[in-house]
Amino acid sequence: MPTRRAVRYSRSPDTRAAARTGRSGTLSASAAREWRRRWDQQQVHEVRDREARFEAMLDAIEVLVGRRFRALDLGCGTGSTSERILRRFPAARSVAIDYDPVLLRIGRSGLGTLGGRLTWVDADLRTGGWPRRLPVRRFDVAVSTTALHWFSPAQLGELYRRVARLLRPGGWFLNGDRISYPPGARHVRDGARSARRLSRQRNPRPGETWDAWWSAVLDDPRLAAEAELHRRRYPRAHGGTPTLDLDGHLRALRRAGFREIELIWTHWDNRVLAAMR
Ligand SMILES: C[S@@+](CC[C@H](N)C(=O)[O-])C[C@H]1O[C@@H](n2cnc3c(N)ncnc32)[C@H](O)[C@@H]1O
């Protein structure tokens, strides 16, 4: 995941006025779809092989879990992962959780429920109460993309334990994220950074960066109330370096009760970890 710089959110007079009233304007489905499109574009800007990673995760779901299942999407953002899952597997359902009001509104308005198969949940995954907010408590597979590096090692340990309790025995957890190298792997870590730079030079991408996307969306008066809440819930620029290296993830997953914990896809530090309950 990209290094997060402090983002300064410039706000137009319109946005400030809307935020003061506490009301957002109407966000049409097509406007929300355009925000989703831009979100996906900026995520590819940050995670170059994002689509290849999605494909690896969906293939893994098909071979390990099947084509008819209930998924839990942790840190769903605007719903990119759930959308790909539900479009490929028409008999699947997904519960998508996030704590960002802006991303949730864009997801809900732009993607909807995909025929009642997608449920959105507004909950903080760092707290103990989020499983109670779910409409069901038994899942065949849990997925997460580019999200769990936001968590401290202690938060991640707790999260893994809660996810394990929500999965049926034999269910799978698939985490696609940038998983860091241990301190001793200096050359490989530097290599990963240089390889990303080479890839950017070879395939310069038009489109926004993370910072530019957030500046723009937080200035959209139709999302003013959600932007206000976003600032309260995420008062600091988040992220930075990933919190656990691969061994740390393996240990935390084992302690949470998972077995058969393996890397199933990797491109430098961008990896997919699969763990069976
Ligand atoms: C980079 S985005 C990735 C979103 C989506 N999975 C994707 O691949 O497009 C990271 C997501 O994690 C979510 N997140 C971070 N901390 C969270 C928390 N404590 N509870 C729920 N979601 C959280 C953020 O709101 C954000 O949507």
Per-position b or e across 103-119, b if 16+ CB within 10 A of its CB:
bbbbbbbbbeebeebbb
Domains of the chain plus CATH, in order, are 19-70+78-150+159-165+217-276 (3.40.50.150)
**What's the full length of the chain, in residues?**
277
Please tell me if the CB atom of residue 51 comes closer than 6 angstroms to any atom of ligand 1.
no
Q: What is the pTM assigned to this prediction?
A: 0.93
Please tell me if the CB atom of residue 99 comes closer than 6 angstroms to any atom of ligand 1.
yes
Please tell me if the CB atom of residue 100 comes closer than 6 angstroms to any atom of ligand 1.
yes
In ligand 1, the atom with minimum distance to the C-alpha of 100 is 25
CA of 73 relative to ligand 1 center, distance in Å: 10
CA atoms within 13 A on the CB side of 209: 9
Q: What are the pLDDT digits (tens) for 89-107? A: 999 999 999 999 999 999 9
Q: What are the pLDDT digits (tens) for 30-47? A: 999 999 999 999 999 888
Measured between alpha carbons, how far is 17 from 22 in angstroms, rounded to an integer? Answer: 9
Measured between alpha carbons, how far is 39 from 25 in angstroms, rounded to an integer? Answer: 20
Interval 209-229 mean pLDDT: 96
Interval 213-229 mean pLDDT: 97
Please tell me if the CB atom of residue 125 comes closer than 6 angstroms to any atom of ligand 1.
yes
Give the pLDDT confidence score for residue 22 in this predicted structure: 57
